[in-house]
Amino acid sequence: MKTGMICGTIGLAALTLVACGKSDLSSLDTSDGVAAAPEMSGSTQKIKIVGSSTVSPFATTVAERFGATSGFSTPIVETTGTGGGFKAFCQGLGPDQPSISNASRPIKASETALCASNGVTEITPVEIGYDGIVVANSKNGPDFDITKTQLYLALAKDIPDGAGGFQPNPYKSWHDVDAGLPDEPIQVFGPPPTSGTRDAFVELGMEHGAESLPALDALKASDKKAFQVRAHTIRTDGAWIDAGENDTAIIQQLVKSPTAIGVLGYSFLEQNGDRVKGAQLAGVPATFENIASGDYGLSRIMYFYVKDQNLTLVPGLIDYIEAFTSDSAFGPDGYLVEKGLIPLTDEDRDAQRAVAESLKAAASN
C-alpha cells in the first residue's frame, strides 16, 4: 500500500516560536512577504507546530510527553487544517514561525512555491503512519454499506445527465442514489476545503467513484483537468455541510443528527466508538487491520514537515523529531496506537528513523 503514496523528500526545516505568552496564530502575518527577523532576547523559545486536525491528536500526545520528560518546553500544537498549516509554515524563517506542519496529504507544488518565495527552501516530510477516511454516523442511525461511485453520485455538484452533458445533482435521499441505501436525506458533515482530509476524500473517494461512470471516464481521457473539476467539486446546496477543521465537531453533529453521516479520520471513529459507527466501503469495514493492509479503499499516509533551515534555531526540535519516530511512540506497541495511529511497516519505520538521523546530522554540522 505504501508504494505510490509516499511524497518524495522536499527537504527539511525547523522553526522556533518566541512564546511571549501566545499560543495561537492571531498575530501571524499571512501576507506573502518574508517575515521580519524575530526578537529573541529575554524570551523562551518553543517548537511551534501547525496543520492537520487528523495528525494533531498524535502530535499533541508526543508534545505533552516530550515536555514532561525531555527538559525542553512543551511544543505548541495548533490545529489549522493541512492547507492552513502549510500557509502558516511557508511564511518565512525564524523562531516566531511554525517549525513543523502536520499534514494528512503530501505538500502541493503551489505550497512548495509559496515556501520558496519566502525563503523556506529546505523541507523534509516525515511519515508517521496510516489513517483511513471513514464515513460514519450515529450509533442510533441506519447501517451504511456504500461504494465510491455512490459517494460521488450523492455528493458531486454536477453529475452526468445521461445525454452527454451534466446536470445539477438531483438526488435528495440516499435511496434516490441507489435503492439499496437507506431512505434518509443526504446530509453529510465534512471538513472544509482547507482540510487534507477533504482533499484525500475527493481524490481517493469521489474521483475513483467518478472513474467508474462511462461519461466521466471518457472525459478523463479527453480532458483530465475538466474531469478533476467534475470529480472533485462538492455540491453546495446544503447536502454537504462544512463542519470545521476539528473532527470532534463532526462527531458532535452526528450525535445530534442520527440520520446524517460524517466524513472524518479513522482515529476519531476509534476514539468515539461508543457514540458513532463506521460505514462499510464496498463491503469492507473500516478497521485497523483493513486500513493497514490496504483492503479498505480510503487509506492514506500521514506526515509532518520540518524546516531544515531552522534546525539549529529551535532548542529541542531534533529531539522532538526523534521522540516522534521512536518505536515507543509510533511503533506497533507504541503509545500512539492507543490514540488510533495505524503504524507503518517495520521497514518503513526504519526508513523514517533514518530521515530523523540525517536531520540530526545536518543540525550538528
> Would you say how long the chain is, in residues?
365
How is residue 102 written as a grid cell? 502536520
| C-alpha–C-alpha distance, residues 204 and 352, integer Å | 24
294 and 316 inside one domain? no
Average pLDDT over residues 26-41: 36
Based on DSSP, count helices (H) and strands (E) in the chain, helices before strands.
Answer: 15, 14
Judged against a pLDDT cut of 60, whether residue 236 lies above it is answered with yes
Q: What is the CATH number of the domain that holds 357?
A: 3.40.190.10
141 and 268 inside one domain? yes
| C-alpha–C-alpha distance, residues 128 and 324, integer Å | 8
Contact 181, 249 (CB under 8 A): no
In the prediction, which pLDDT does 254 show? Answer: 95
Contact 59, 85 (CB under 8 A): no
> Which position has the higher pLDDT, 198 or 25?
198
Number of CB atoms found within 10 A of residue 274's CB:
7
- Max CA-CA distance within the chain? 70
Judged against a pLDDT cut of 90, whether residue 3 lies above it is answered with no
346 and 262 inside one domain? no
User: Phi then psi for 135, rounded to 5 degrees?
Assistant: -100, 120
Per residue in 133-181, pLDDT (tens digit) is 999 999 999 999 999 999 999 999 999 999 999 999 999 999 999 999 9
| Structural domain count, the chain | 2
Residue 311 lies in a domain: yes
Confidence of residue 340 (pLDDT cuts 50, 70, 90): confident
Contact 136, 278 (CB under 8 A): yes
Residue 2 lies in a domain: no
Confidence of residue 287 (pLDDT cuts 50, 70, 90): very high
Instruction: Specify which residues 262 forms β-bridges with.
Output: 136, 189
In the prediction, which pLDDT does 39 show? Answer: 36
Place of cell 518553543: 46
Residue 128: name the closest of 318, 270, 317, 305 by CA: 305
Residue 7 lies in a domain: no
Residue 4 lies in a domain: no
Judged against a pLDDT cut of 60, whether residue 25 lies above it is answered with no
Residue 11 lies in a domain: no
78 and 227 inside one domain? no
Per residue in 38-48, pLDDT (tens digit) is 333 333 689 99
Residue 216 lies in a domain: yes
pTM value? 0.74
User: Which residue range(s) make up the domain with 240?
Assistant: 132-299
93 and 209 inside one domain? no
Residue 12: name the closest of 133, 100, 138 by CA: 100
96 and 153 inside one domain? no
